[in-house]
Amino acid sequence: MTPERPTGQAAMCPGASHRLVFLGTGAGCGVPAFFCGCPACEEARLDPRARRGCCGVILEGGKRLLIDTPPDLRHQLVREGVPSIDRLLFTHAHYDHVGGLGELEYLVRLVHKAPLPTAASAEALAGIKAEFGYLEECLALEELSPFSAFEYDGLRYTALPVSHAPGTFGYLIESPQTSLFYASDTGRLEPACAERVRGVDILVMDATFWKRNWSPTAHHSVQEAIEEGFELDAGCIYLTHLAMHYDEPITLAALEEYLVQFGGRVKVAVDGLGLPL
């Protein structure tokens, strides 16, 4: 398959006003998993670039919007030098995406002194309330319905239902220059979602598995993410939520080598990577 559209940085307008920063790009157990000695985990022990925390991203313009609060959140925010969070958005309420929510308690109590605006689906809000009852006065919860959109800090966010736990959203994020779809956890997109995503400049896609997909209704393999990204005519595809080590481990070096065949149109997200929007 040959790339037909401009790729990577070239696809992004030089007048970018915002930045998406990957706080984490790993599946639930992280890379290295503390219990694993596979080549991918051993590579990550030696090379910081191959280390992956759980998935979250921050959108920075004049303000900072955080999507998901992974368990490693405090370390991720310190690493990226993020001084504050102004708004919170959730994809869903699985542990690897909400486990670090408690890390924001002191930002709210000591700095903002006002509840943090926090939006998610009804199902994700129910999960957050059940797990984090002690944060009730710290969060101003706002329910998002499927396909609803809002504007924040010069970006338009549309909540698109994806194929994962009930109430999981991917977010279509549009700046005046660039469109990006962030879907860290999803199986193959349903047609109504796929039609909204078609032709997006940047697709950030679940690529949990290498080769065999253990959970095809909830996740993608690397190969499926690439195939679907091309079907959707995405300008470039960033693979995220990578486990690197299920049936067969794949090192970052080997994965980047594998992606050379796509001429730069498919890239591996790494923790700390920033994309202009």
* Contact residues for Zn ion, defined by CB under 5 A: 36, 38, 40-41, 94, 96, 185, 245
Cβ proximity to Zn ion: between 96 and 201 the closer is 96
> Rounded to the nearest whole angstrom, what is the least distance from the CB of residue 227 to Zn ion in the complex?
21
With beta carbons less than 8 A apart as the criterion, state whether 55 and 109 touch: no
Cβ proximity to Zn ion: between 220 and 245 the closer is 245
Cβ proximity to Zn ion: between 90 and 230 the closer is 90
> Rounded to the nearest whole angstrom, what is the least distance from the CB of residue 1 to Zn ion in the complex?
27
> Rounded to the nearest whole angstrom, what is the least distance from the CB of residue 35 to Zn ion in the complex?
8
Instruction: Specify the pairing of strand 64-67 against strand 202-206.
Output: unpaired
> Rounded to the nearest whole angstrom, what is the least distance from the CB of residue 266 to Zn ion in the complex?
20
- What is the token pair recorded at 125? 């809000």
> Rounded to the nearest whole angstrom, what is the least distance from the CB of residue 130 to Zn ion in the complex?
16
Backbone angles phi, psi at 249, to 5 degrees: -70, 150
Instruction: Specify the pairing of strand 274-276 against strand 169-174.
Output: unpaired
Question: Which H or E run contains 116?
Answer: strand 116-120
Cβ proximity to Zn ion: between 146 and 264 the closer is 146
> Rounded to the nearest whole angstrom, what is the least distance from the CB of residue 12 to Zn ion in the complex?
26
Cβ proximity to Zn ion: between 76 and 175 the closer is 76
Show Cβ contacts of residue 181 under 8 Å, excluding neighbours closer than 6 positions.
160, 170, 171, 172, 173, 197, 200, 202, 203, 204, 205, 234
DSSP 115: P
With beta carbons less than 8 A apart as the criterion, state whether 200 and 180 touch: yes
Cβ proximity to Zn ion: between 18 and 51 the closer is 51
Strand order in the sheet with 274-276: 139-143, 116-120, 87-89, 64-67, 56-60, 19-24, 274-276
- Reported residue count of the chain is 277
